[in-house]
């Protein structure tokens, strides 16, 4: 059942989402996120891969953190998301969990950890919850991964779906810059979204799809849609934090808004440090032990 009028546009109520909206003494749950969406309140996610940034984002009121397979690119320096392993992601999930008290932590299921079937998906998801301490997992795909989603939700593991641009399929999509879901593909995406909701997914990432399609999907589903390059009508938004904070360089996708120039700040700090070390200005007496 869709929420229709509660989606996007200037007549929305409850857009003011602050950290006061969320519990201060326990982790946010998927029920809290659904309740916020039911009230028409929009909420935010960011990716996070380490304890310190996780704590900062939680303090800022980010409701849920995704330990995404984008860590392959953002942390490990690969060119796409495919190489990151379960073991590597679990270390990052552990760090994000240690660095937070209230944020819901969603762990990505990396390429090769769920595609072969429900059994493999369950084993991987259980590791994310038992070893990593995550509260939910995310996987890419629609009807082709329904058996996996049903098995996980049946086992009590909250699942976030991911449709539109699914970077783990980079080799069939022909790149990760392409908008998905135009024309007839939009109907297929809508059918996938409905199927994921029926299978028990608690939320759905829509990546790089036309805004109008995201509006239709959001209106058709009760579970929250989480947009990234999907326009203004989704119930929640997610960004890769290095894009949001201006650490990444080069040609960025149209949807990326840089809220800071972290790269410039860091570069300046590191340059000053190098200069002061060379000039014998650091460490001075005030930074030395007596
Ligand atoms: O891995 C990731 O960071 C993601 C987001 C971009 C949605 O899947």
Residue 217 alpha carbon to ligand 1 centre in Å: 19
Burial of 39 (0-12, 13-18, 19+ CB in 10 A): exposed
Residues 179-223: tens digit of each pLDDT = 888 988 999 999 999 999 999 999 999 999 999 999 999 999 999
Best CA proximity match to 160, nearest among 253, 75, 68, 62: 68
Residue 124 alpha carbon to ligand 1 centre in Å: 18
Residue 228 alpha carbon to ligand 1 centre in Å: 9
Looking at the chain, list the stretches that DSSP marks H as alpha helix, in order from N- to C-terminal side: 30-38, 51-59, 71-74, 86-98, 118-127, 146-154, 170-173, 185-198, 211-220, 241-244, 262-278
State the Cα angle at 26 between 69 and 163, rounded to 5°.
Answer: 30
Give residue 178's pLDDT: 81
- In the annotation, is 131 catalytic? no
Residues 59-113: tens digit of each pLDDT = 999 999 999 999 999 999 999 999 999 999 999 999 999 999 999 999 999 999 9
Q: Cα(232)–Cα(229) distance, rounded to whole angstroms?
A: 9
- Which ligand 1 atom minimizes the distance to the CA of 45? 7
Residues 231-290: tens digit of each pLDDT = 999 999 999 999 999 999 998 999 999 999 999 999 999 999 999 999 999 999 999 999
Give residue 176's pLDDT: 66
């Amino acid at each position: 059942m869709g929420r229709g009028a509660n989606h996007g546009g200037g007549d929305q109520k409850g857009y003011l989402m602050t950290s006061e909206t969320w519990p201060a003494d326990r982790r946010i749950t998927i029920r809290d996120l659904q309740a916020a969406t039911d009230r028409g309140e929009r909420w935010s996610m960011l990716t996070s891969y380490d304890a310190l940034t996780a704590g900062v984002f939680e303090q800022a009121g980010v409701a849920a953190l995704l330990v995404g397979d984008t860590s392959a690119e953002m942390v490990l320096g690969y060119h796409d998301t495919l190489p990151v392993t379960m073991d590597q992601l679990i270390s990052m999930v552990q760090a994000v969990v240690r660095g937070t008290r209230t944020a819901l932590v969603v762990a990505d299921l990396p390429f090769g950890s769920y595609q072969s079937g429900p059994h493999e998906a369950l084993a991987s998801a259980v590791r994310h919850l038992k070893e990593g301490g995550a509260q939910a997992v995310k996987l890419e795909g629609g009807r082709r991964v329904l058996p996996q989603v049903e098995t996980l939700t049946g086992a009590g593991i909250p699942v976030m779906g991911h449709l539109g641009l699914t970077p783990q399929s980079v080799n069939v999509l022909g790149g990760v810059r392409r908008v998905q879901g135009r024309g007839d593909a939009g109907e297929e995406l809508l059918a996938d979204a409905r199927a994921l909701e029926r299978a028990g997914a608690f939320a759905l990432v829509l990546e790089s799809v036309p805004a109008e399609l995201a509006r239709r999907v959001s209106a058709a589903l009760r579970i929250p849609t989480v947009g990234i390059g999907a326009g203004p009508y989704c119930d929640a938004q997610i960004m890769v934090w290095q894009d949001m904070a201006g650490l990444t360089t080069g040609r960025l996708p149209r949807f990326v808004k840089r809220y800071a120039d972290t790269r410039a700040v860091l570069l300046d700090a590191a340059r000053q440090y190098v200069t002061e070390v060379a000039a014998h200005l650091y460490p001075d007496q005030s930074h030395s032990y007596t």
